[in-house]
C-alpha cells in the first residue's frame, strides 16, 4: 500500500494524469463562513442593558438631588467672590464684614432650624462658625464678624486688610465645609 501511494505521488509530480490527480485539480480552497455580526444583539443583551439602565436611574436621581442640595453653597461662593471684588473696588471694610456676616448667617440657616441658628449670638455664634469652618477662627476675624452687623458707618469697626482677607478665607472655608442632608422627597 505504501508503494502504491509513493507511485501516485511520483506520478503527480511528473505531471502524469491519474484519476486522483484530476480530482485534486478540481478542488477549491476552503471557504469560510462570514463573521458573526454584533448586530442585532441576542435577546440576553437587551435584558442586561435594561438592568443596567434600571441601576443607573437611582444613581442619576441621587446625583440630581445632590446637585440641587448644594446649590446654596455655589450661590454663596458666587456672592463671596462678588463681595471680594466690591471690597477691592473700595467699599468700606465695615460694610464688607457686615455683608459677609449676613451671608454666613444665611448659609447656617439653610441646614439648621431657624430657631436654633437665628438665636445664636456672641460666643455661641463664633462656636457655630468654628464648627462650620472645621478650624478655630482667628480672634481678630471672630471679633470682626461679631461686631460687623452693628459697626456700620461708625468708623470704629473698620478692620485692616489682613482681617478682611482672613474673613474671606474663613467664609469660603465655612461654605465649602457646610453640609446639608440630601432630601429624598420631592423638591
pLDDT tens track for 20-75: 777 877 888 888 999 988 888 889 999 999 999 999 999 999 999 999 999 999 99
Look at residue 99 and tell me if it is in a domain.
yes
* Full residue range of the structural domain in which residue 86 is found: 71-177
Look at residue 11 and tell me if it is in a domain.
no
Look at residue 123 and tell me if it is in a domain.
yes
Cβ atoms 136, 130 nearer than 8 A: yes
User: What pLDDT score was predicted for residue 187?
Assistant: 43
User: What pLDDT score was predicted for residue 41?
Assistant: 87
**Total domains in the fold of the chain:** 1
Look at residue 46 and tell me if it is in a domain.
no
User: What pLDDT score was predicted for residue 6?
Assistant: 64
User: Which is nearest to 168 in space by CA: 86, 89, 81, 106?
Assistant: 81
Grid cell listed for 71: 446649590
Look at residue 62 and tell me if it is in a domain.
no
User: What pLDDT score was predicted for residue 182?
Assistant: 47
Look at residue 117 and tell me if it is in a domain.
yes
User: What pLDDT score was predicted for residue 156?
Assistant: 47
Look at residue 58 and tell me if it is in a domain.
no
User: Which is nearest to 109 in space by CA: 175, 170, 167, 166?
Assistant: 175
pTM here is 0.69
Regions in the chain scoring below 70 on pLDDT: 1-19, 152-158, 180-187
Amino acid at each position: 500500500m505504501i508503494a502504491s501511494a509513493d507511485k501516485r505521488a511520483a506520478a503527480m509530480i511528473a505531471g502524469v494524469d491519474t484519476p486522483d490527480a484530476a480530482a485534486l485539480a478540481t478542488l477549491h480552497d476552503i471557504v469560510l463562513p462570514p463573521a458573526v455580526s454584533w448586530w442585532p444583539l441576542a435577546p440576553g443583551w437587551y435584558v442586561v442593558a435594561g438592568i443596567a439602565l434600571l441601576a443607573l436611574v437611582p444613581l442619576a436621581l441621587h446625583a440630581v438631588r445632590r446637585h440641587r442640595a448644594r446649590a446654596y453653597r455655589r450661590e454663596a461662593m458666587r456672592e463671596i467672590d462678588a463681595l471680594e471684588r466690591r471690597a477691592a473696588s473700595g467699599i468700606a471694610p465695615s460694610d464688607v464684614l457686615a455683608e459677609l456676616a449676613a451671608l454666613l448667617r444665611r448659609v447656617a440657616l439653610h441646614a439648621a432650624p431657624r430657631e436654633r441658628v437665628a438665636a445664636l449670638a456672641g460666643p455661641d455664634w463664633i462656636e457655630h462658625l468654628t464648627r462650620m469652618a472645621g478650624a478655630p477662627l482667628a480672634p481678630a476675624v471672630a471679633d470682626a464678624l461679631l461686631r460687623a452687623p452693628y459697626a456700620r458707618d461708625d468708623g470704629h469697626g473698620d478692620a485692616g486688610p489682613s482681617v478682611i482677607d482672613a474673613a474671606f478665607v474663613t467664609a469660603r472655608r465655612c461654605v465649602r465645609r457646610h453640609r446639608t442632608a440630601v432630601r429624598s422627597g420631592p423638591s
